[in-house]
Structure 1
């Protein structure tokens, strides 16, 4: 493990917008590195699960032997931040998924895939985000999910158009949108501080 001041934060690099997260994490004070193999999970203090295509990500996690090691690390308290497809991956239950689609879990919530529409209905919006100072966060919604319901241990951090789009349960954070695509790194800074607190 790394010194608390500069935590090592991995980005699950099976599929999705890995590079943008690596940049945002580095600019938020973390030592950022891609993670592709189970043994690399032992070398990190926190993990980002990026946006991408959740069914593909789920299949690749199984193929590369990552799914069970990821579940074990999350259960053991590894701080995790999931964006878009990553939110789906940390949900305990999903709607409109494929029958064989698996998740890592970690947040007691039900998430609906592609809830905000198709690729051509993508949009950017300002989102009021609890725990982030400096005004609304810029979020990019691309085939974004939303949270249908949450359990009692889940804190709702942001809503958009009446739907829950950011949550936290313990050391797991999740957003429907992509803050890494905007140059606004405040949500990443929040997550890096969560990782430091655990360290």
Structure 2
């Protein structure tokens, strides 16, 4: 891998341009990903916010669900924000009948846990062991339970809800760092992808 990893953003729905911009600012070469062939060309993938049931249905319609599951199972680094966190969860609460996820992170995530669109808010969180981060929550999930291999990277203050986690090459946040101008979460993920490339 070159010093600039190639990172895709799943471009079926959500804040695609904002994530592309934030990843580029963090030193990645970026691509929008809509097809399985485009997925094969990236070293890592961001799954943006949006609406998780719509994202699942679009991924299925575009024949992306199985390729996404396969790449995640192979160890491709991925970062999911908001709906992307739901997509990376092994299990979800308050999903619609038959709703599927890509999976990969051993956790239970509750959809719309912080409320509806009108309940959106901003709050400071403790992120990745010492930094205070301003986070934007829009119809956001939270983590209900997690397995022993999942590392907690962020919690709300106050409330102590788990809103950022990592398991191996997979990162997830219930908030939208692409909307704040604070590049630390994207820089963290870009470094994860770089490190994965060096270790392969």
Matched residue, 1:141: 137
Deviates more, 1:177-186 or 1:122-131: 122-131
- Two-structure CA RMSD over aligned residues (Å): 0.9
Q: Does 2:123 correspond to 1:125? A: yes
The alpha-carbon deviation at position 39 of structure 1 amounts to 0.8
d(CA) in 2 for partners of 1:33, 1:42: 11
Q: Secondary structure at the match of 2:45?
A: strand
Matched residue, 2:56: 58
Runs of 4+ in 1 over 2 A off after TM superposition: none
d(CA) in 2 for partners of 1:146, 1:71: 22
Q: Secondary structure at the match of 2:123?
A: strand
Q: Secondary structure at the match of 1:162?
A: coil
Q: Secondary structure at the match of 1:43?
A: coil
Aligned residue pair count: 195
Unaligned runs of 5+ in 2: none
The alpha-carbon deviation at position 50 of structure 1 amounts to 0.1
The two structures have a TM-score, normalised by structure 1, of 0.96
Matched residue, 2:74: 76
Cα deviation 1:120-177 (Å, max 9, x = unaligned): 110111111015x6x3112100000000000011001111122100000000000000
The alpha-carbon deviation at position 76 of structure 1 amounts to 0.3
d(CA) in 2 for partners of 1:65, 1:49: 16
Q: Does 2:152 correspond to 1:156? A: yes
